[in-house]
Structure 1
Amino acid sequence: MTTVDEELRCIGCGAVIQSDDPDELGYTPASAVQKGLESGELYCQRCFRLRHYNEIAPVSLTDDDFLRLLSHIRDTKSLIVYVVDIFDVNGSLIPGLHRFVGDNPVMLVGNKEDLLPSSLRRNKLRDWLRQQVNQAGIRPISTVLVSAKKNHQIEDLLKEIDRRRNDRDVYVVGVTNVGKSTLINQIIKLRTGIKDLITTSRFPGTTLDQIEIPLDDGHQLVDTPGIIHQAQMAHVLPAKDLKVVTPQKEIKPRTYQLQDQQTIFLGGVARFDYLKGQKVGIVGYFDNNLPMHRTKLAHADDFYHKHLGGLLTPPSTDDLADFPPLERFEFAIKQKSDLVFEGLGWMTIPAGTVVAGWAPKGVAVLIRPAMI
């Protein structure tokens, strides 16, 4: 396959521009290439349609391709800015990150802090987040909380990057859907005034190759492709349902006084069973629009099969054929913990209880120390 020019890359996703094969990455009609060069905004057709029509086209890169693109970072002299989604911390962790960064220092950025209750002390949240990545073997030199979407604390982040990089390039890494490209766009806007240069969406895997942004001293700030975690909820729901389960504003905690042998359905995409324990308050942290329904455990299976796609939505009736069955995970809670449905949210559970979480097959359900 030939390319229009090996040096021409889509400024939205970083793919090499080519006009030969519409089914391959970087395809752009030849007539659009010249227009893009003249305007200074050369996008591949995939990014153009995503930006203007919110349409997503499948990509041919595999998980291994994404990891291979990151593998050379260990040989660079750089500062690693590791972006995690505070609402989905566990789904944001990159297994074996040290293999990709080598001896380079890591700066931790917790994005989407605006989604968490404003009553939560940010110093406590910062400490909790650092402890979570410590358990994954990552020792950040500093931790910064931001909201890329709301442009909160981005100037502080830039100052911290400048203070820490010590005449080095900066590589921004993270899994898909953590808001990495939105963060880069805010940085570009603050430094250059250009808005929405890089393609962003709620779909996994939008950035397909490295995107290099020049810094004032001749070094580069590099946006790397997001590593895809198949255990995220984003991989089992269509776009219209992701809008219902993906928070866009501050979460309002929902508290339920539960006795044992009761069930709470989270739409039709997940389920929480309170199996054993005294009457307690269980607090849910999910998108405010996600419908939650309580019923008796003994009736839960029949309730689910009867109402899935109707009362229990998402998924909608049209998507039931492709929706995976729910898998069950049981836990005995020894200390106050969060039962996490990866990419969806969590229930905070008191000690001395036995619970079960159900999620679509392939989506992770796990226990972690309580955030709040």
Structure 2
Amino acid sequence: MRALTWHGKNDVRVDSVDDPEILNPRDAIIKVTATAICGSDLHLYDGLIPTMKAGDILGHEFMGEVVEVGANSPLKKGARVVVPFTIACGSCYHCGKHQYSACDNGLPADNQDIAQTLYGQPMSGLFGYSHMTGGYSGGQAEYVRVPFSDVGPIVIPDGVEDEKVLFLSDILPTGWMAAENAQIEPGDIVAVWGCGPVGLFAVQSAFLMGADRVIAIDQFPHRLELAKKFGAEIINFEQSAVYEALMEMTGGIGPDAVIDAVGLEAHGLFVDNVLDAIKTTVFLGTDRAHSIRQAIIACRKGGRVSMPAVYGGFVDKFPLGAFMEKGLTLKTGQTHVQRYMPELLNSILAGTIDSTFLISHRMSLEDAPKGYKMFHDNQNEVTKVVLKPGSVPDSAIAAE
């Protein structure tokens, strides 16, 4: 089959690789009909996530048709399913609490030591996201093996287009959980750092959860305009000082809740960010954490901090004093996707949630390397790239 593989920093290629096989009675094989490039995939593209190996198949946002099942899988051949990016067993202590991204059995035994060394305890497995998270082949491919298929995939009704439900795999539940972790109350003012896909879904979710005002912060005009469509007020941090603007917009109190949807590759010529960038260049640091620092400083006293953004390692210059003195609460973590999929699917089918507004480009799987470079280099116009295995690549169209 054809699949997108990682070969080093800024080097991804579509290669011919072996077809996946059933390895466990709970497995299923999915023929991928739609997959997407996630903002966190760019961390892999930039070589910032450890334990990647040449030839690893990327991709954790995908859906498709069931073509083969293990003896203990409840899925039926021919069913259309969306697959959560978190790989969870459904029966351990954490899965019993619906904390699927903390599953004890999602990682193969050979991979658990890596995560335990870095983070103290292993997390759930993730598709296409390094050997630290299981070394599982991802869904930017023609076919993919889905472990624990009796726990993860959700069956999609006939007649529903792929693009309406594809983002149930990751970014929609992630944005929703980000807003939920912010513990939004009616009348709240919520500030969201980052208007990428997760940030935009967090904006939409915050309004649906009762926020009175949502303030979206970014530097890309098109992304800010998308946030405005949901009613958000905006701050372009290249044109305004964020802290001062937020104080003015909130009467000097600060937002009730803040959401960091940026993560370890924060942009901007800020002193702390420049120092972080230097440290990452000379391997003295891993993350550029300007957005979470700024969010903590701006949040009102007694407020809530939600951090759906991906961070990979250790962060210095963290405003721990401000965090403690202001009495803030922080909630974070990889998304418990399985917990949210049924409710969000119903909201999509009812028309309550707009799930397709951020798609900017549709491409063949064969054009995936071009899609990665476009997304990496032009984050204003390129908001979301959806890949279609089996469709005709742009190069073939041009040749005609």
Query: TM-score normalised by the shorter chain: which range applies?
Result: 0.3 to 0.5
Which is richer in strand? Answer: 1
Q: Which has the higher Rg, Structure 1 or Structure 2?
A: 1
TM-score normalised by L of structure 1: 0.38
Which structure exhibits the higher relative contact order, with contacts defined as CA atoms closer than 8 Å and separated by 6 or more residues? 2
